[in-house]
Amino acid sequence: MANLIPLNKILGQLKKIKHIEIYAILIGAVVVGIIWFLPNGEKEEKTNALSSTSTYLTNLETRLNGVLSAISGAGSVDCMITLDGEIERVVAYSNDEKNSSTQNTTSNGSNNTSSTSTVSKEPILISVNGKTEPLVLYEIMPSVKGVVVVASGADNIRVKLDILKAVQALLKVESSQVEIFTKQNA
């Protein structure tokens, strides 16, 4: 016990350090930062959802660019699509239902029966590449909020109308959700 330093002595030494409050704040900020950036299942899941939504959006834009640039007179085409939300995954669940009933006889000879039912719902988990994930039944893709198309041939009204019709047919959007502009000459 002789090796223990009294708390008063430690506090006295700390009080002698100049600007101890600043050091304490910096240490606290570092601890909070470490906790914030530690892997977290929920954050990882949200990042995965954003990543797959971003991939979906990029593929959608790439395919739309390809189709629109194939329209006669459209020329070089760039498009940008905005989505209303993220990809929603519908997960498979297993339901475990338990029923029990109890029959009681009262002092006057009548019978009372009480029943209880318990349902527990757990996601079905599968192993993919050594990682446990919920089983996804299907994904609901977000709807398209808006589309901007910039095409070198959009100064021609016929081409502009053809581009509008193609976007409406492919993405199931109203004409008010589509804007088409003429691409500036490079």
Q: Choose from 13-27, 53-67, 112-126 the range with maximum mean pLDDT.
A: 53-67
The answer to whether residues 121 and 154 belong to one domain is no
Six token digits for residue 170: 């492919």
* 2 assigned to some structural domain: no
Predicted local confidence at residue 7, as pLDDT: 66
Same domain, 46 and 78: yes
**Rounded to whole angstroms, how far apart are CA atoms 19 and 55?**
49
Give 43-75 pLDDT, tens digit per residue: 445 555 557 888 999 999 999 999 999 999 999
Same domain membership, residue 172 and residue 104: no
DSSP state of 74: T
In a domain, 123, yes or no: yes
pLDDT band of 41, cuts 50, 70, 90: very low
The answer to the question of residue 24 being in a domain is yes
**What per-residue confidence (pLDDT) applies to 42?**
47
CA distances to 47, 56, 61, 70, 155 from 177, in Å: 28, 19, 15, 22, 19
If one compares 65 and 14, the residue with the highest pLDDT of the two is 65
Tell me which residue range forms the domain holding 122. Answer: 91-134
The model's confidence at residue 36, banded by pLDDT at 50, 70 and 90, is low
Same domain, 160 and 82: yes
Residue 163: how many other CB atoms lie within 10 Å = 26
Domain assignment present for residue 79? The answer is yes
Q: Count of domains in the chain?
A: 3
pTM for the predicted model, two decimal places: 0.57
CATH number of the domain within which 63 lies: 3.30.300.30
- Looking at the domain assignment, is residue 67 inside a domain? yes
Q: What's the mean pLDDT in 87-100?
A: 82
How many Å apart are CA 131 and CA 5, to the nearest integer?
48
Is the residue at 159 inside a domain? yes
Whole-number average pLDDT of the chain: 81
Give the residue carrying structure tokens 């919920």. 134
Same domain, 128 and 95: yes
Residue 115: the pLDDT is 77
